[in-house]
Amino acid sequence: MSGIDTLLVIAKEPVAGRVKTRLVPPLTFEQAADVAAAALWDTLRAVAPVPVRQRLLAFDGDAAQWCPEGWRVSAQPEGGLDTRLVAAFEAAGNGPSVLVGMDTPQLRADQLTAWDPDRFDACLGPASDGGYWAIGFTDATVAAAAISGIPMSLATTREHQLARLDELGLRVQLLDELTDVDTIDAAREVAHEVPRSAFAQALTRTGAR
């Protein structure tokens, strides 16, 4: 076993005009949604080998066609990303839990199982844009204190998050740094890194790769 009790993926239904809008232009909203859908599928496939007790998809939208067999679905509440992250951990319950988003289709399972909940109280996967792609807690009930009020989607988000974890006295294990797919340049970089992925194929179909 990995030592992780609950694996969470937080995601948004890939609807044109609601996802990956920073890729428009050069992509159209429909193309951006197709790329987002591929990133979500790649993420779900990547985390599938991680041995855990339960898997939870914290979803914004209709999860019917996106939730793999054996997963539980939790609807995201209204509010900022910090509020939605906290709600996901609350739905997970007690025990070591780790959460990832849908913006790193190059993710590998071993980059999550590298976390050692026996030695560390939390983990954080830094993103190259100053945010983070993963966060986890040995005791998921501390998520509210650890995440609430953290300014999200900024170049300083990771810095703020690490400072909060330090304030709480948590021992933090840093995971591999990954690139979030938030811009077309980042999308091209990730597609080059995983050329056989559904994400890379979707980007190729747009003609922007």
CATH number of the domain at 57, please. Answer: 3.90.550.10
Residue 1 lies in a domain: no
Of 124, 120, 116, 208, nearest in space to 174 by CA? 124
- Tokens found for residue 40: 């979500």
Can you give the pLDDT at residue 144? 97
Question: What's the pTM?
Answer: 0.96
151, part of any domain: yes
Instruction: Measure CA 116 to chain center.
Output: 19
- The number of folded domains in the chain is 1
Examine residue 209 and state whether it is found in any structural domain, yes or no.
no
Q: Which residues pair with 132 in a beta bridge?
A: 126
Q: What is the mean pLDDT of each run of 10 residues along the chain (209 residues)?
A: 88 96 97 98 97 97 95 97 98 94 97 96 97 97 97 96 98 98 96 97 93
58-84 exposure pattern, b = at least 16 Cβ within 10 A, e = fewer = bbbeebeebbeeebeebebeeeebbbb
Q: Tell me what pLDDT residue 209 has.
A: 76
Helix (H) or strand (E) holding 47: helix 29-47
Is 208 contained in some domain? no
Structural domain span for residue 85: 6-203
* Domain-embedded: residue 185: yes
**How far is 66 from 59, CA to CA, in rounded Å?**
9
Q: CA-to-CA distance for 188 and 178, rounded, in angstroms?
A: 14
Residue 1 has what pLDDT? 47
Judged by DSSP in three states, 71 sits in: strand
Return d(Cα 23, Cα 27) in angstroms, integer. Answer: 6
- Report if residue 144 sits inside a domain: yes
